[in-house]
C-alpha cells in the first residue's frame, strides 16, 4: 500500500472523490460508476485500487461499496464539500453584505442555502417585491416577516393577507413600530386586532433589511457592509433552505417582545 495521506487520497483525484460520494447511498455496479463519471474501466480501476488500499471501499464481484472507514469519511466529507460549494458560489454576496445578524450556528449550516439564487432587480425595480415569492404565497397557510424598513407596498401587503386570514407573524424594530403607529395607524390596528396575526418588536440591533417566509420559500435581504440598503435578494425554495430560514426567524423571535396594542 502506498503511503498517501488520506486527504490526498480523497481530494487529489476528482474521480476518487466522486466515487466516494456516489457510494454514499449504497453499493454500486462498476457500469453505473463508469457511466456516471463518463470514463472507461482502464482509467477508473487504478483509482478504485487506491481507495481499496486505503480501506475506504470494498469490492464484491463487479460492485463496490463504502467500508466502515469510508462511511465515516464520506459522512464528514459531504457537509464540508457542500459548505465549500456554498461559500464559493455566493462568496461575492457574502463578502460585500453585513452578516453580523446571522448567528454562528446558522453560519455553520450555510451549506443548506447553497441552491439559493441571488436576485438583483434592475434599478427601476429596486424596491419591487419578489413576485415569485408572493405568487407562491397565494396558497400558503402562514407568513413570517422580519422588517427593519418600510417597504412601499408594506401596508397593502399587510391588509391583503390579513383579509385572507392567513396566519402572519411579524417582527419589526422599534423605529419601524413608531413609524407604523404614526403613518399607518388604521391599517396597523386592523392587522393587530386580527386573531391570526402576531406582531413583535425586536429588542436588539438588527442589521438586515428583511426576511420573508411562506410555507415553501424565503427571501432574505441583507444590508451592505456599510449598512446601506442593498436591493439584492437571497431567494430559495428547497426544504433544507426553508428550515434554515425558519430557524433564523426563530432566533430573532427569542429576542422579541409581543405587541399587544397600538
Q: Which domains does the chain have, with CATH numbers?
A: 6-80 (1.10.10.10), 99-258 (3.30.870.10)
Helix, strand and coil content of the chain, in percent to the nearest 5, comes to 50, 20, 30
Under the banding of pLDDT at 50, 70 and 90, the label for residue 125 is low
Task: Read off the pLDDT of residues 240-257 as tens digits, 9 standing for 90 and up.
Answer: 999 999 999 999 999 999
- 66 DSSP β-pair partners: 57
Give the Å distances, CA to CA, from 7 to 3, 10, 17, 67: 12, 5, 10, 17
Under the banding of pLDDT at 50, 70 and 90, the label for residue 129 is low
Considering the entire predicted model, what is its pTM?
A: 0.75
Q: What is the rounded distance in angstroms from the CA atom of residue 212 to the CA atom of residue 143?
A: 7
Residues 218 and 241: beta-carbon distance below 8 Å: yes
Q: Tell me which of 144 and 162 has the higher pLDDT.
A: 144
Under the banding of pLDDT at 50, 70 and 90, the label for residue 221 is very high
Burial track 81-100 (b if 16+ CB lie within 10 A, e otherwise) = bbbeebeeebeebbeebbbe
Could you tell me which residues come within 8 angstroms of residue 252 by beta carbon, excluding any fewer than 6 positions away? 146, 171, 202, 206, 211
User: Nearest 5 degrees, angle CA 166-CA 168-CA 169?
Assistant: 160
pLDDT averaged over the chain? Answer: 87
Q: What percent of the chain stands above pLDDT 90?
A: 55
- 144 DSSP β-pair partners: 169, 213
Under the banding of pLDDT at 50, 70 and 90, the label for residue 1 is very low
Q: What is the rounded distance in angstroms from the CA atom of residue 138 to the CA atom of residue 166?
A: 10
Count other C-beta atoms under 10 Å from residue 164's C-beta: 13
Whole-number pLDDT of residue 127: 57
Q: What percent of the chain stands above pLDDT 70?
A: 94
Radius of gyration of the chain (CA): 24
Amino acid at each position: 500500500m502506498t503511503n498517501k495521506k488520506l486527504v490526498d487520497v480523497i481530494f487529489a483525484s476528482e474521480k476518487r472523490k466522486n466515487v466516494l460520494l456516489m457510494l454514499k447511498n449504497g453499493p454500486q455496479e462498476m457500469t453505473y460508476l463508469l457511466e456516471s463519471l463518463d470514463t472507461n474501466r482502464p482509467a477508473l480501476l487504478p483509482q478504485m485500487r487506491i481507495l481499496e488500499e486505503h480501506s475506504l471501499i470494498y469490492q464484491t464481484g463487479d460492485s463496490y461499496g463504502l467500508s466502515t472507514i469510508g462511511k465515516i469519511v464520506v459522512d464528514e466529507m459531504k457537509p464540508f464539500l457542500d459548505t465549500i460549494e456554498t461559500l464559493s458560489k455566493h462568496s461575492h454576496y457574502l463578502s460585500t453584505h453585513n452578516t453580523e445578524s446571522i448567528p454562528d450556528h446558522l453560519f455553520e449550516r450555510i451549506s443548506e442555502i447553497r441552491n439559493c439564487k441571488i436576485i438583483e432587480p434592475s434599478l427601476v425595480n429596486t424596491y419591487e417585491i419578489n413576485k415569485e415569492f408572493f405568487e407562491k404565497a397565494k396558497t400558503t397557510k402562514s407568513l413570517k416577516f422580519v422588517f427593519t424598513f418600510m417597504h412601499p407596498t408594506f401596508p397593502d401587503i399587510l391588509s391583503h393577507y390579513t383579509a385572507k386570514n392567513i396566519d402572519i407573524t411579524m417582527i419589526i424594530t422599534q423605529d419601524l413600530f413608531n413609524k407604523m403607529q404614526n403613518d399607518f395607524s388604521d391599517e396597523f390596528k386592523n392587522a393587530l386586532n386580527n386573531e391570526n396575526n402576531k406582531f413583535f418588536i425586536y429588542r436588539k440591533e438588527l442589521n438586515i433589511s428583511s426576511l420573508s417566509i411562506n410555507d415553501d420559500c424565503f427571501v432574505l435581504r441583507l444590508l451592505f457592509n456599510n449598512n446601506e440598503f442593498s436591493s439584492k435578494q437571497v431567494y430559495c425554495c428547497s426544504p433544507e433552505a426553508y428550515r434554515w430560514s425558519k430557524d433564523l426567524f426563530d432566533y430573532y423571535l427569542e429576542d422579541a417582545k409581543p405587541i399587544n396594542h397600538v
